Amino acid sequence: MNNNGLQVRVVAGEASSSKTFHVFKATLCRTSPFFEKALNGPFLESLTQAIHLPGLHPDVFSLFLNWTVTGKLPDPKNFQRPNPYAKDPTDENHWDFLISSAMVFAELHMIDSFAEALRKAFFTVHFPKLENNVDSALRYWHSFPTHTTMARIFDGVPSGAALARKIANAILAFFDDDVPFRTPFLLPLDIQRDVLENGTIYARDEYGLLRVDLSKAEDAERPPPAEM
Q: What is the DSSP string of 108-165?
A: HTT-HHHHHHHHHHHHHHH-HHHHT-TTSGGGT---PPPHHHHHHHHHHS-TT-HHHH
Domain boundary, last residue among 55, 70, 98: 55
**Nearest-angstrom CA–CA distance, 63 and 22:** 14
Q: Do 13 and 103 belong to one domain?
A: no
pLDDT at 153: 87
**Nearest-angstrom CA–CA distance, 189 and 143:** 22
pLDDT at 201: 57
pLDDT at 143: 65
- Closest listed residue to residue 84, CA positions, set 71, 93, 74, 72: 93
| List of residues 6+ apart from 213 with CB closer than 8 A | 199, 200
Q: Quick check: helix, strand or coil at residue 74?
A: coil
Q: Do 111 and 147 belong to one domain?
A: yes
Q: At what angle do helices 112-126 and 94-108 cross, to 10 degrees?
A: 150
Helix and strand counts by DSSP (H, E) for the chain: 10, 5
Q: Do 87 and 123 belong to one domain?
A: yes
* In a domain? residue 162: no
* In a domain? residue 166: no
CATH of the domain at 8: 3.30.710.10
Q: Which residues share a beta bridge with 50?
A: 9
pTM to 2 decimal places:
0.74
Range of the structural domain that residue 115 is part of = 57-157
- Closest listed residue to residue 189, CA positions, set 158, 145, 156, 227: 227
* In a domain? residue 115: yes
User: What's the domain count of the chain?
Assistant: 3
Q: Do 133 and 119 belong to one domain?
A: yes
Q: Do 107 and 142 belong to one domain?
A: yes
Q: Do 62 and 127 belong to one domain?
A: yes
**Nearest-angstrom CA–CA distance, 223 and 178:** 13
In which residue ranges of the chain is pLDDT below 70? Answer: 1-5, 89-90, 128-143, 159-160, 169-228
**Nearest-angstrom CA–CA distance, 180 and 201:** 8
